Structure 1
Amino acid sequence: MLRLPKYLWFVRMKVNKIVELKTLYSFEAPVFDAHGTAGTSQSAELKNKLDLNSYLAPFPGETYLVKVSGESMINEGIYDGDILVVNKRDRPVDGKVVIASLNGEMAVKTYRDIHGVIYLFSANDKFLPIEIKPFWEFEIQGVVKHVIHAV
């Protein structure tokens, strides 16, 4: 098995932990439609309820969570400590954020197919794109559907 060159080790956003998503119970929350701009005194109107499980993971058996570390995807709104909701059923599409396995190392990157050559791009100008070489062990583990982080 070939390893990534040392100069590429620091360009990836590491995957700390992968957790399979299981539906143990339904979690419904009220959804309000806020009228007007922020800061006005208009009240919000209850629209309906939203089941977070079905919203975040419509295919629970195909969905898992990833906790990330690093700063290579900050311009996509993905920060150190965020939780990613990933669908392993979806195939990568040009421009989508994916979980990729590169020579046994997991990474969070933007998938690009440029004239038949696969690249993984960071969303931070400090990091260079990675061109996937034919002799590398490479596999897309899933497509990122949602990012969860505190505000």
Structure 2
Amino acid sequence: MKQNVRLKDIPATVNIIDAHELKARSADQWLSAISYTPGIFAIRNYGGFNTLTIRGLDSRNALLLRDGVRDDTFLIQNSSPMSSFANVERIEILKGLNSVLYEQGAMAGVINIISKKPKKKRATSFLLRKEVSAHIELPSGLPGQSVPNPSDIE
């Protein structure tokens, strides 16, 4: 059960990177955004795979959540969970053994990417489309021949 608890009252190491900090870091991917966090070593390797180490434990012992939902593709660079931070509210990083409360394989830590909530605004949209078409009639039959009407054949 999720509870509203102040961050300083949680008996665990938690780092939060908010939208302002993400913008200040000019991060292009979540991996580069969290690499400034103490205890985290994150690099992009050759072949499209990412390496993540949290407090000395490798990425096999880390868990990435997107709005609380597990994402196992985070080690593959082209399968990164996001291409932009425009819709990210914050990134929460929980380090250490307390993270095993989330699921198996999360002994190193849990990284939870929280999206912004949609604003309740009235939305309107329109579609503008231009079509060009042509109508061409071709004569039936071959030149010089007449094609009999099937009802005239006895």
TM-score normalised by the chain length of structure 2: 0.24
Looking at secondary structure, tell me which structure has more helix per residue.
2
Structure of higher CA gyration radius: 2
